[in-house]
Amino acid sequence: MSTSTARKNRLATETSPYLLQHDTNPVDWFPWGDEAFTEARTKNKPILLSIGYAACHWCHVMAHESFEDNAVAELMNANFINVKVDREERPDIDRIYMDALHVMGEQGGWPLTMFLTPDLKPFWGGTYFPPESKYGRPSFSHVLRELSRIWQTEPEKITSNTDALLERLAAPPPASTDPEPDHGLLHKMTEQVMRAVDPVNGGIGRAPKFPQGPLFNLLWSVHLGNPDRRYDAAVQLTMKKISQGGIYDHLGGGIARYAVDEEWLVPHFEKMLYDNAQYITLLCRMQNAQPNELFRQRIEQSVGWLLSDMKTPEGLFASSYDADSEGVEGKYYCWSESEINHLLTDSTRHLFCEIYDVSKAGNWEHTNILNRTDHPELLSETEEALLAEARDTLLTHRRSRIAPGWDDKALTDWNALTVIALLNASVTLEDANLQKVALATLENLATHLRVDGRLYHSFRDNQVRSHATADDYALLISAHLAAYEVTLDRAWIDRAGDLMEEALDHYLDAADGAFAMAPADATDLIVRDKYANDDVTPNANATMAINLWKLSAYLAKPDYQEKAEAVFDWLKPHMTRNPFACPTAWLAFTALAEQPQLVLVGEPGDNGFADLHRTCLKVSSPNLLIMQVARDMQLPADHPAAGKTGLDQPAVFVCRNQTCNLPMTNAEDLLASGIH
């Protein structure tokens, strides 16, 4: 195979680490933009769109096999306008063309390889293509030659494909014949999810297994309102298996993106910010309700990893670490028995190897992935102290290895999830420093991701890239509301309200009441899609419905309640079709149907106020609204606690819909009341 020279291509001026990985390819790459589109129209060439991300293992494989090969590059350059996109930097582009691939009947994944007309309409695609025909896939060179031939000799096939695909992509969802969402349907769908949970290893189904943060967050939330149904058992099992499996980094903290096996032993080794933020948040909610020393440790360790390994110089959080180092998947994280025996003392090596499944033969490809699957229960304090000392020794040695690639671009939505995680951890661990870091991150997002009054999605090397998505606004508003609940500083509510007004101006489609992923003034997309399903992060429309409901109460804006209900009306036909697809929409249902509030009466300096506030924060529901009300403050007449707050001591009203319980003045009574 011939290889590339070091000559730089157009990607050299980009900021995305993924695009920069390709800046010496012999492929004549263009970044997504007008220059590429004009070139395609002028030369009447189809566009070859390649979408991936920095931590993607198979993206690296295809790059080495095809994009670094001069012969393949010649084929690409002669017949196509080649465009490279970082899916994390442009999730709106990725979603459109991934949807197109699904319409074609193909399984999704990355690298995503799509072929477009010069006006950006897709006509054929796939994912990874090998250099030679194998795995039931044609070789990449064969694909290139055949599609170039069809483009030149059978253009009618191209037109037919693009017309059919665009019609499917732009079509509204079919009218639903399913029943209206209600609590009965929620439990029916929850039971369906429970039946899909692996009863031995946790997680959904067999292999591969993903953490599925939004889905297990829903299960936990439904459990809180229905403890007799024991939905928590599936969440406890799954989180324990993840926390003791090979998917967890037992030395550095944090979890990998997914496991390739059903026992959570072998991770796909990339570590993503969004997974870890949601892992920490769910563990905090569980820990607040059912204290567990293992989960406390995992929260502490994973937060430690965020602060030590994921912070950027600007005070934001980076996106990911690659799976590969030195061209080998997982090399940074795996160990030989002899290496461990050399590093550890006689008093610890035998115990460590037994507990962490280390052997001469290895547990994966003749090497060892550290895990405690067979020894999940914590040992004595003395033994755990020895293991902690051994882990520190191995971590110090591991840091001397060549580390995986670090994608240090900061994304607004993933940083917002991280702020929420840090605020939760600050409460669960009672660590005021984590609150300071979270609030500073919000300030840094405002400093670096806002330009000329608009929010952007990605920041690196002192430059913003790409307009914000609805996900950015939805999760950033959620983070501001979480900041208010922890600090009781209404400035965070005001800032959340300002962000919501921007989102309504630029993303809301008045025709159907839902938020599009891209703003109305985006000019480089063939459709402005709207989504109801959760991806790896919570869905924007469902999150916005919850945000609008909360802001309607905080700001006394009934029109926000109306908008929340309109968004939910749009979600309804989607969320009843597939119980696995829309967990956050079901959270929105419980929020709007029950409107649970904790109304905290009093001032921070009042005797007993801090204990009540701390207890409110440890209530485990993701939907609960916490509102501080001064004793002389007048609530709107339609608020369920209106006229009841003139008390002579701090107290909490537990309100649902238009009814409030009697005020509670004691933190222990509040916990014992069974609020959720």
Contact between 333 and 369 under an 8 Å Cβ cutoff? The reply is yes
Statement: residue 475 has pLDDT above 80: yes
| Backbone phi and psi for residue 112, each to the nearest 5 degrees, phi listed first | -95, 125
Q: What is the pTM of this model?
A: 0.95
Q: Any residues with CB less than 8 A from the CB of 120 and at least 6 apart, and which?
A: 37, 47, 524, 525, 526
Tokens 């769109």: give the residue. Answer: 49
Whether pLDDT at 466 is above 60: yes
**139 or 671, higher pLDDT:** 139
The percent of residues in the chain predicted with pLDDT above 70, rounded, is: 98
| 597-672 matches 10-170 in CATH topology | yes
pLDDT value for 1: 43
Q: Which residue has the higher pLDDT, 3 or 246?
A: 246
For position 173, what pLDDT does the model report?
66
Domain positions in the chain: 10-170, 333-400, 491-592, 597-672
Q: Give alpha helix (H) positions in 270-407.
A: 273-289, 293-309, 337-343, 346-355, 381-398
Banded pLDDT at 673 (limits 50, 70, 90) = confident
Q: What is the pLDDT of residues 620-636, one digit of tens each?
A: 777 889 999 998 888 89
Q: Distance between CA atoms of 436 and 430, rounded to whole angstroms?
A: 12
Whether 329 shows a pLDDT value over 70: the answer reads yes
Q: What is the pLDDT of residues 376-404, one digit of tens each?
A: 999 999 999 999 999 999 999 999 999 99
Q: Scanning the structure block, which residue is given the tokens 């913003």?
A: 464
Q: Is the pLDDT of residue 3 over 60?
A: no
Residues in the chain: 676
- 597-672 folds as Glutaredoxin (3.40.30)
- 432 contacts: CB under 8 Å, gap ≥ 6: 426
Q: Please tell me whether residue 351 adopts helix, strand or coil conformation.
A: helix
Task: Give whole-number Cα distances, 73 to 29, 77, 83, 347, 500, in Å.
Answer: 10, 6, 13, 56, 46
Encode pLDDT of 98-108 as tens digits: 999 998 888 88
Q: Note the pLDDT tens digit of each residue in 287-305.
A: 999 999 999 999 999 999 9
Q: How far apart are CA 229 and CA 187, in angstroms?
A: 10
Q: In this predicted structure, which of 187-196, 352-361, 638-647 has the lowest mean pLDDT?
A: 638-647
| pLDDT(410) > 50 | yes
Measure the CA–CA gap between 283 and 232, rounded to whole angstroms.
Answer: 12
Ramachandran assignment for 543, one of left (phi > 0), alpha (psi -120 to 50 degrees), beta (any other): alpha
Instruction: Kindly write down the DSSP assignment for every residue of 496-547, as one continuous string.
Output: HHHHHHHHHHHTEETTTTEE-SS-TT--S-S------S--SS--HHHHHHHH
CATH numeric code, 10-170: 3.40.30.10
Q: Two tokens at 219? A: 């299960």
- Reading the block at residue 130, the tokens are 């090998």
> Residues 515-528: what's their mean pLDDT?
94
Predicted confidence at residue 176, as pLDDT, reads 65
pLDDT at residue number 460: 97
DSSP code string of 7-69: ---GGGG---HHHHTTTT-SS-EEESSHHHHHHHHHHT--EEEEEE-TT-HHHHHHIIIIIT-
* Dist. CA 469–CA 52, nearest whole Å: 18
pLDDT for res 4: 46
- Residue 6 is predicted with a pLDDT of 61
Q: pLDDT band at residue 225, thresholds of 50, 70 and 90?
A: confident
If pLDDT is split at 50, 70 and 90, which confidence band does 615 have? very high
Averaged over 595-606, what is the pLDDT? 93
